[in-house]
Amino acid sequence: MKWTNPLARCNKEKFGKKDVPVAGKIENWGDYDTVYLGFPIWYYAAPNVINTFCKGYDWHGKTLHIFATSGSSGIGKSAEKLAPYIEGANIADAKRVTSASEIV
């Protein structure tokens, strides 16, 4: 289904502005100092499920590397839009990537 279709997942989620359930939970979250958070860009932001995921954890003291994939648009203000959900995190970088080798 093409992303411009109103029934496409990206459209239903972004325009519905609803939390999207996350499957599973990261065990031993407190043991991690550095977190890499990746997602596709949907309407110049992270998908709603990323916001829901972020709300489920304490980010204080974490160093966060944000990366996004996109066929054409940049990462834009994705990091700023995530800020309310990652309070206490130190954002080391936020960038659009086109290959796994760029995530280091």
- DSSP secondary structure, 31-71, as one string: G-SEEEEEEE-BTTB--HHHHHHHHTS--TT-EEEEEEE-S
- Domains of the chain (ranges, CATH numbers): 32-102 (3.40.50.360)
Whether pLDDT at 104 is above 90: no
Is residue 26 predicted with pLDDT exceeding 60?
Answer: yes
Average pLDDT over residues 8-32: 76
pLDDT of residue 71: 75
pLDDT on residue 102? 83
Dihedral sign (CA 7, 11, 15, 20): positive
Pick the more confident residue, 65 or 47. 65
